[in-house]
Amino acid sequence: MPFILGTNSIKDTGYNVNNSLRFNSGSSDNLSKSLSTPTNDKIFTFSCWFKKCKNATEMNLFGYQPSGNAEAYVGLSDSDQIRFADRDSSDTTPEIHLVSNAKLRDNSSWYHVVVSIDTTQGTNTNRAKLYLNGEQVTSLANSTYPSQDYTPEMNSADGTKVIGADNNGNYFNGYMAEVCFIDGQALAPTSFGEFDSDSPTIWKPIDVSGLTFGNNGFYQEYKQAGTGTNASGMGADTSGNDNHFAVNNLTAVDQSTDTCTNNFATMNPLDNFYGQGTFSEGNLQIAQSDASYASLTSTIGVSSGKWYAEIKWTAQTTGNFPALSWIGIVGSVATATSMGVGNNADSYSYIGDGSDGGKKRNNGSSSSYGDDYDVGDIIGIALDLDNNKIYWSKNGTFQNSGDPTSGSTGTGSAFDLTTPSSGFYYFAVSDQHDGESSTWQFNFGSPPFAISSSNADGNGFGNFEYAVPSGYFALCSKNLAEHG
């Protein structure tokens, strides 16, 4: 399978996608609209770029399920297979049902899916085609093709069509960008993307604004942050058709800059066996509880360069003891529930609350460092892997009179970092105290919380609450290509 933009990119892609929309299944986020009379209800194309944030869960990118047997959806099975299904109210099984053998379980990268339908074709396999990352999916766990001239439900005039779910739920959890519906044409993926000329296994988006969309067609770029059903809303249609979708449960903070041309770090749900965290908000919020205080890590690790991130401690429970917050970096993933941030030789943290509040921690030992911090505070991490230093700030003030721009001098640096055992350092958090819990929100440049001051890095990437130190960068693929 070809790759699309993953945790690193070799160069600027030429065409830039500036925004995505972050869907959280826990709050039933979706966009919805009743479409009109189609140009041709038997011929259409759906295209979408997405980054999934949850596995082993049935969820839909685009769906329709009004009542009875009728249904249509593009989405993911609870076995992580990409699929398309369509059946009318008279059917008991789908008339069209294509399900990949491949399982999509990477939560750090973007995918591209295209469903191309033309039921007027004479050959059944030409009537329905499923594409992933620029190539047709031919290894199928299910391959049910429609009868000739079957009228699909997906492009019907009746009922409400939903982006990020279907009418009965199965909400998507993740990011979507460049969502296109073409009414009246069955297009190939090359209408929406191309292989990189320098790296032919990399599939990347192209400008689709020149396509003909048809009566029911729409193009969602997520350029706007409004909640109205209009050109200023998150569900705005920029195809020229004004097929604007209603915004349901999404807010302005769900407009994201994590896209298929600039992939930002999130937290990694695949590194959660020992940490036992509950992930949400595009994997930018974690609640950690129970008896574990193992580290929870970012999807992207770094071995060189200077990187900045902000972590907001948003909730804490108290029982026999208050939950503590350990925010920092680790050089390897946890292999035991007790491997909290700062408990190993290549693990460093800044502690909030309790008797160790304000201290720094490494290799199981805590020592004096800075001010205590509490729920509501934003902790900045400036990670200098060119000089092997680390600095923490509290609400914009670097602790211990730290100066992240001091280079090899390391003025106020909390630690001189050792070589990480994995070869990479990951941003990480953990709490401590059995039975109590902490919740954090993570800003690697595409924040899940409202920003009041809006600060970008020196390359113009990221949206941070506090000023990014000179020479430090948001953890995203474009910056990694230049500085990683």
Residue 60 within a domain: yes
What CATH number does residue 241 fall under? Answer: 2.60.120.200
User: How far from chain centre, in Å, is Cα 447?
Assistant: 11
Mean pLDDT confidence for 198-220: 95
User: How far from chain centre, in Å, is Cα 174?
Assistant: 5
8 Å CB contact between 242 and 187: no
Within this chain, do residues 301 and 446 fall inside the same structural domain, yes or no? yes
Q: For residue range 241-258, list pLDDT tens digits in order.
A: 999 999 999 999 999 999
Task: Return the structure tokens found at 266.
Answer: 């999130």
Least confident of 6-15, 212-221, 421-430, 455-464: 6-15
How far apart (Å, rounded) are the C-alpha atoms in residues 37 and 330?
56
Q: Is 345 exposed, middle or buried (0-12, 13-18, 19+ CB in 10 A)?
A: middle
Within this chain, do residues 83 and 203 fall inside the same structural domain, yes or no? yes
pLDDT at position 10: 41
Q: For residue range 230-240, list pLDDT tens digits in order.
A: 999 999 999 99
Residue 178 within a domain: yes
Within this chain, do residues 192 and 337 fall inside the same structural domain, yes or no? no
How far apart (Å, rounded) are the C-alpha atoms in residues 176 and 254?
11
Measured CA to CA in angstroms, residue 151 lies from 104, 148, 155, 296 at distances of: 30, 9, 9, 48
pLDDT at position 363: 97
Residues in the chain: 484
pLDDT at position 318: 81
H or E stretch covering 382: strand 378-384
pLDDT at position 8: 42
Least confident of 100-104, 200-204, 221-225: 200-204
Task: Return the structure tokens found at 439.
Answer: 């919740």
Residue 5 within a domain: no
pLDDT at position 320: 67
The helix/strand/coil state of 482 is helix
How many independent structural domains does the chain possess?
A: 2
Domain boundary among 196, 226, 256: 256
Residue type, 337: T
The pTM assigned to this predicted structure is 0.96
Q: For residue range 371-412, list pLDDT tens digits in order.
A: 999 999 999 999 999 999 999 999 999 999 999 999 999 999
Domain of 431 in residue numbering reads as 277-483
pLDDT at position 319: 72
Per-residue pLDDT for 14 more than 50?
yes
Residue 422 within a domain: yes
8 Å CB contact between 229 and 244: yes
Per-residue pLDDT for 116 more than 50?
yes
Average pLDDT for the chain: 94
Domain boundary among 256, 285, 309: 256
How far apart (Å, rounded) are the C-alpha atoms in residues 456 and 378?
16
Per-residue pLDDT for 2 more than 80?
no
Within this chain, do residues 250 and 380 fall inside the same structural domain, yes or no? no
How far apart (Å, rounded) are the C-alpha atoms in residues 347 and 357?
17
| DSSP code, position 361 | E
How far apart (Å, rounded) are the C-alpha atoms in residues 22 and 48?
14
Within this chain, do residues 103 and 48 fall inside the same structural domain, yes or no? yes
Per-residue pLDDT for 228 more than 90?
yes
What CATH number does residue 390 fall under? Answer: 2.60.120.920
Within this chain, do residues 249 and 285 fall inside the same structural domain, yes or no? no
Residue 199 within a domain: yes
pLDDT at position 463: 98
pLDDT at position 1: 54
Residue 2 within a domain: no
SS (H, E, C) 61-121: EEEECCCCCCEEEEEECCCCCEEEEEECCCCCCCCEEEEECCCCCCCCCCEEEEEEEECCC
pLDDT at position 435: 72
pLDDT band at 103 (very low <50, low <70, confident <90, very high): very high
